[in-house]
Structure 1
Amino acid sequence: MSVDSVFRTRSLGVAAVGLPDQYADGKAAKVWQLYIGDTKSRTQEYRSWVVSLLKQHGVRSVLDVACGTGIDSIMLVEEGFNLVSVDASDKMLKYALKARWDRRKEPAFDQWVIEEANWLTLSEDIQKPGDGFDAVICLGNSFAHLPDFKGDQSDQKLALRNIASMVRPGGVLIIDHRNYDYILETGRAPQGKNIYYKSDLTQDITTSVLWVNSKPHMITLDYTIQVPQATLQNLPEVR
C-alpha cells in the first residue's frame, strides 16, 4: 500500500480547530462516499425503524437539519415524506442537489426543498411552516460535529433551541450520536464497520481525547482509508 493510496482526515498534532475547514473546502464532500460505503446498505439498517416511528406519529413534513449529501433525506423522500433539507456546507449540498436534479421527473423529488442553513441562525435561514414541521431529524452523528470553541457549550445549547423550535407542538425530534461514554471509558472508538460507516476501505480509526481542566472537551476520530487508484485519479487533492 503506497502513501498515495491513503487518505487521512488530518494528522496527529494538527490543531483540531482546522477540522471544520474540511467541509468548507469541499474535500470531505468529495471523499464522503469512501467513508460511508454503500448508501443502500447503510439506510437499510435503520430505514424501517425511522419510517415506522415517523408514520406512527402521523408525520408528513420533515426537516433534515443535517442533510449533508442527502442520504437520509433521499430515503425519506422515497418513503413519501415532504422534505426540507438543510446543511451549513454548500459543498455537501451540491451532491444532494444533483441527486434531486437526476430524479426531478419524480414528483416527490421535484418538490424536495434543499437550502443552506446554519444551526446557530436556523430561524433566520429557513422559514418555519405554520406551527412547525411534524418532525425534525439530525442523524449520522452530525450534532457532535459542532465544536465547543467557547468552552461553555453555549453554541450547542443555542443550536438545540433553534432546532427544537422548528418542531410543531407534539411533533418528533430525532438526534443521534455515537456512544461517547464508551469512547471515554475505553479510550478509543470501536473499530470496524458500524451503522453509519460501512466502508470496506477503512484501515484504522485513531481516537484522540482532549481534556481541559480535568474534563473531556473534544473527541477526534482520525479515519485512515485506502483509496482505490481509480478514485485517486479523480481526487488529486487526497494525495
Structure 2
Amino acid sequence: MTETEPTVFAPDEKQDYGDDPVAVRSTDHYTNEYVRGFVSKWDELIDWEARAKSEGRFFIDVLKARGKHSVLDVATGTGFHSIQLLKAGFDVTSADGSAEMLSMAFQNAADRGQVLKTVHADWRWLNKDVHGKFDAIICLGNSFTHLHEENDRRRALAEFYAALKHDGILILDQRNYDAILDDGFATKHKYYYCGEQISAEPEYVDDTLARFKYSFPDGSEYHLNMFPIRKDYTRGLLRDVGFQQIHSYGDFQEEGEEKSPDFFIHVAEKEYADE
C-alpha cells in the first residue's frame, strides 16, 4: 500500500464492489462503502433508544472508574457514543473517516442540544489531523475490522497509542469473529444493531473476509466488506503496540458470563498494573 491518503468518493454514489465483490479486500475501500443512502439509514440499524438501554452506563463507568475526562471517539459514525459521553460530562472530540457520517453525527448532536467537535481523519494518519493528548480513545461499532491489511492495523493502533496520555486507555470492540469463523453466524441482537425488521448478516465469510449485507424494511440493501479478526489476535496486536493491561468483555459482561457473545470489548491500558 502506498504512503498516500485514500481517495474520497462522492457520498451520493452507489456502493461499487465491481464484478467480484468478495475480491474487494482493501482498507481504502471504506470511503466508498458509506454512501449517503446507507448513512441515512444507519440510525435505523442502531436504534439509539434500544442501544442506550442495552449497554447502560458501561463505557461511562469504565472511563469514570479510571478517572478519565478527555475522550477521542475515532469511529464516531452517526454520533451515538460521542453524544452519550458528552451528556455524561466528558470532553469529547469526534473523528471519523467518513465526512458523511460526521455530518450526520453533528446534526444528531444539535438535535439533542449538544455541539460536537468533529475532525475528518484517517486512523493511519490520525495525529496529523487530531492534535493533543487524550485520557481515552474509543473505537467502537466493529470499526477496527475495516482495516484489511496487517500493516494498517498495526499503524492505526500505533497512532492511537501515540494520541493517548502516558496513563491513557483505549476501548476497542469487535464482532465475535471466532464464533462466526468456527461455528457459523448467529446473533441475539440484544446489545448491538437493535433496529427492528432490519437484518445485518454475513453473506460470505472466509479467513480474510466477512461480507455483511444490511437489509432494510423498504427493500434497500447495502454491504460492508470487513476483515474477520479473532479475539486473541486483537489482544496480541494491542500488546505489541505497547499496551500493558488488556481486559476483554463479552457483550458488556465479564469474560465467561455471556456464552458466545455477539461482540468483544477490549479495554487496553498504557500503564503497568500496580504491584
Do the two structures share a fold, i.e. TM-score over 0.5?
Answer: yes
SS at match of 1:121: helix
Deviation at 1:51, TM superposition (A): 0.8
The residue aligned with 2:33 is 22
Specify whether residues 199 and 88 from structure 1 end up closer, same or farther in structure 2 by C-alpha distance, changes over 3 A only: same
Give, in whole Å, the separation in 2 of the partners of 1:192 and 1:12.
33
How far off its partner does 1:119 sit?
A: 0.2
Deviations 1:66-99 (A, max 9, x none): 0011011000001010000000000011111112
For residue 197 of structure 1, the aligned residue among 178, 193, 206 is: 193
Give 2:118's match in structure 1, choosing from 110, 114, 128. 114
- Equivalenced residue count is 204
Shift of 1:223: 2.7
Give ranges in structure 2 of 5+ residues lacking alignment: 1-14, 223-275
Residues 44-63 of structure 1 mapped to structure 2, 5 A cutoff:
44-63=53-72
Instruction: Tell me the equivalent position of 2:168.
Output: 171
Amino acid aligned to 1:114 = T
Query: Once the 2 structures are TM-superposed, how far is the Cα of residue 203 of structure 1 from its aligned partner?
Result: 4.5
SS at match of 1:77: helix
Q: Residue 60 of structure 1 contacts residue 134 of structure 1 at CA under 8 Å; is this kept in 2?
A: yes
RMSD over aligned Cα atoms: 2.7
Q: CA deviation at 1:46?
A: 2.0
Residue 45 of structure 2 is matched in structure 1 by 35
The answer as to whether partners of 1:65 and 1:87 remain within 8 angstroms in 2 is yes
Which SS does the other structure have where 1:127 is aligned? coil
Query: In the superposition, relative to structure 1, how do residues 160 and 203 fare at CA in structure 2: closer, same or farther (>3 Å)?
Result: closer
The one-letter amino acid paired with 1:58 is: G
Task: Describe the superposition over 1:187-227 as per-residue Cα deviations: whole angstroms up to 9, x where unpaired.
Answer: x32145241211112247234123xxxxx112222233322
Structure 1 unaligned blocks of 5 or more: 1-7, 211-215
Alpha-carbon distance between aligned partners in 1 of 2:164 and 2:22, rounded to the nearest angstrom: 36
CA, structure 1 residues 165+113, in 2 after alignment: closer, same or farther (shift >3 Å)? same
Deviations, residues 45-75 of structure 1 (Å, cap 9, x unaligned): 2231111111111111000000011011000
* Percent identity between the two aligned chains: 32
Residue 33 of structure 1 aligns to a residue whose secondary structure is: helix
Higher RCO structure (Cα 8 Å, ≥6 apart): 1
Q: Which has the larger radius of gyration?
A: 1
Q: Equivalent of 2:209, from 212, 218, 227?
A: 218
Q: Which amino acid aligns with 1:99?
A: N
Q: Which amino acid aligns with 1:81?
A: F
Q: What's 1:160 paired with?
A: 157
Match of 1:92 among 93, 101, 122: 101
Compute the displacement of 1:34 (Å). 2.6
Alignment of 1:47-86 (within 5 A): 47-86=56-95
Letter of the aligned partner of 1:143 in structure 2? F
Q: Which amino acid aligns with 1:35?
A: L
**CA 1:72–1:33: 2 relative to 1, 3 Å:** same
1:22 alignment partner AA: E
Using structure 1 for the length normalisation, give the TM-score. 0.76
What residue number does 1:227 align with? 218
Number of the residue aligned with 2:148? 147
1:11 and 1:98, CA in 2 relative to 1: closer, same or farther beyond 3 A?
same
Contact 2:22 2:204 in 1 (8 A): no
Secondary structure in structure 2 of the residue aligned to 1:226: coil
- Between Structure 1 and Structure 2, the one with more helix by share is 1
TM-score of the superposition, structure 2-length normalised? 0.67
1:206 matched residue in structure 2:
202
Please give the alpha-carbon distance, in whole angstroms, between the structure 2 residues aligned to 1:84 and 1:116.
Answer: 11
Question: Match of 1:45, SS?
Answer: helix
